[in-house]
Amino acid sequence: MTISRRSFLGSSIALAGCGAASSHPTALPPAGTQPVIVATWSWGRTVCERAQQRLSAGASLLDAIETGINAVERDPNVRSVGVGGRPNAEGIVQLDAMMMVGSSLEAGSVCALERIATPISVARRVMERTRHVCLVGAGALEFARQMEFAEEELLTETSRTEWEAWRASGSPGFWRTPPGPPPTASARDHDTVGAIGIDGHGEVIVGLSTSGLEWKLPGRVGDSPIVGAGGYADAEVGAACATGVGEEVIRVAGSHSVVERMRAGMDPQEAVEDVLRFLRRRRGEQLGDAQVAMLAVRRDGVIGAACLRPGFELGMLAGGAVGGRAVAPLDA
């Protein structure tokens, strides 16, 4: 089922008593009292189901979101995250991930990490075990080894076959395309797992994990591990995350822009739509038919979701129930 903005808001089980933003920008809404999680794409439901199991067993929201994202990372049928993710132009799977805790603004991320199936967990260790925020490439892998993560081959036979076919096609690759009309990014090119949660006690967490854009140039980093672009969380306000063509999200500091709009008084739906409209206006034809989708959760559990192109969906945990929704593109 595809939903418009109005029906989406109407169906949100997280709306009780707080449907509209305060007219006073500094008057923050009260924190919600129940856990709410939203997560990107069809596997967002998996995230929510696993997270709910952990929360019911008494786990923290941070543990619950990590476990939910781990399940997607380990699923070889999700072709844009973790094991089975499509490789870069050299046939190597390079992963990006980020975790951010809204109460402390602590964050950890890894970029272009190879051979580790669960980069979200490495990102969490960067946050908790170092004074850094971001580790890249060989340094990130060495850190993961020190944290005793197991190394494994992430390229599945299916991904290898597809990559070989792409290479044999002689295509220079989407990301080497010279200046000119923007190329078409198909729906299968990408798709990050991104999850935002509130725990009902004032905590707000965001986590993302992705293999990024298929056949990307080696070393390319997308928006997902960039604090403020792919994800941002501030427990005073809420959190946001993004999926789609990361280069476009980075240009507008997408997730931070959404959170700051909420801080200024926009409700979450207005905030995600406003950032995507800004991106569309500023990028014009250069945006081509790129997909960008954004989710937001305010600290009281009100959610927002918007996308530029058809096909985006989300998973949601609210009111103790897990569900999923298709999201209609802007102005559809």
Least CB distance from residue 137 to ligand ASP, whole Å?
Answer: 15
Stretch that binds ligand ASP, among 84-92, 172-180, 190-198, 318-326 (CB under 6 A): 190-198
**CB of 35 or CB of 304, closer to ligand ASP:** 304
**CA pair distance 44, 51, nearest whole angstrom:** 10
Residue 109 as a binder of ligand ASP (CB under 6 A): the answer is no
Position among 244, 254, 268, 315 found at the interface with ligand ASP (CB under 6 A)? 244
**CA pair distance 228, 159, nearest whole angstrom:** 30
Stretch that binds ligand ASP, among 64-72, 133-141, 162-170, 207-215 (CB under 6 A): 207-215
Residue 299 as a binder of ligand ASP (CB under 6 A): the answer is no
Residue 224 as a binder of ligand ASP (CB under 6 A): the answer is yes
Q: 208-232 burial, b if ≥16 CB within 10 A, otherwise e?
A: bbbbbbbbbeeebbbbbbbbbbbbb
Residue 246 as a binder of ligand ASP (CB under 6 A): the answer is yes
Least CB distance from residue 301 to ligand ASP, whole Å?
Answer: 24
Any catalytic annotation for residue 184?
no
Contact indicator for 189, 174 with CB cutoff of 8 Å:
yes
Q: Output the six-digit token pair for 42.
A: 């069809």
What is the rounded (10 degree) CA torsion for 251, 254, 257, 261?
140
Q: What is the DSSP letter of 227?
A: B
Position among 243, 255, 257, 269 found at the interface with ligand ASP (CB under 6 A)? 243
Stretch that binds ligand ASP, among 70-78, 155-163, 187-195, 308-316 (CB under 6 A): 187-195
- Continuous H helices in the chain: 5-11, 44-56, 61-73, 119-129, 137-146, 157-168, 246-251, 254-263, 268-283
Closest residue by Cα to residue 143 from 154, 152, 132: 132
Q: Which candidate in 40, 46, 156, 192 is catalytic?
A: 192
Residue 73 as a binder of ligand ASP (CB under 6 A): the answer is no
Stretch that binds ligand ASP, among 9-17, 119-127, 188-196, 264-272 (CB under 6 A): 188-196
Active centre residues (catalytic): 192
Q: Which residues bind ligand ASP (CB under 6 A)?
A: 190-192, 210, 212-213, 222-224, 243-246
